Structure 1
């Protein structure tokens, strides 16, 4: 049984509220209309393996900090990408100030630092904020490179 929290997500297709666990098998779908749901979770030093590395879809990891202006700008753009690519990716947010082991592990020099991981392997990495369209292209190219 997971110790990780579930979040409430509103289905972009029918508007129904669903509980989506941070870690689970498969991909979350709406209990009402069965469409894929955006999968957005917080992850930290203690649950990163469960939430990110054991995920059944590629995970976009947002390494951010509360004091970082660009982080606050990129967060809604990443959530938009996670909604647009529901069923394809998971978005995991890591506050580096609360999770120093992960900040060290990924050698974070600047925030936001964004990673695309697949089963714990880094497919892509970039630092800095970008608009949603550019982030989506980066994520899709990273995932496509994995499949190619």
Structure 2
């Protein structure tokens, strides 16, 4: 696969993974808050609500992640070329920064005080940023250049 389609696929999969993880995190964080208030939260409610949020919330978060990743991931890839020893740290930080920036922008533009409920606490914000980091790590993994050996080595003869 040539470079551009491979990078586009890596980008889309990174957004998808970050969005799915963030949706699950947001749902479980909200359900835990309700449970702390005394609401019963059986497993079937948790699973059903998670499925609904994967359909309803994940697309919203995907838009935020895509906007953040559009800036952060190319910048991270550029930095990795100059600092290859820090590859994974750069992608972790880029993913976290992308989500934090997207959330800050969304909260500044949204009519309500906080657009995403999980973003109302430092724990929730860090959790969503971690989801972005996982997505960015996937991009870093899938976006790597694959180099094929053309000459056999001595270990190939075994």
Does the pair score TM above 0.5? no
Query: Which structure has the larger Rg over C-alpha atoms?
Result: 2
What TM-score do the two structures reach when normalised by structure 2?
Answer: 0.22
What TM-score do the two structures reach when normalised by structure 1?
Answer: 0.23
Give the number of the structure with larger relative contact order, counting CA–CA contacts within 8 Å between residues 6 or more apart.
2
Instruction: Looking at secondary structure, tell me which structure has more strand per residue.
Output: 1
Instruction: Looking at secondary structure, tell me which structure has more helix per residue.
Output: 2
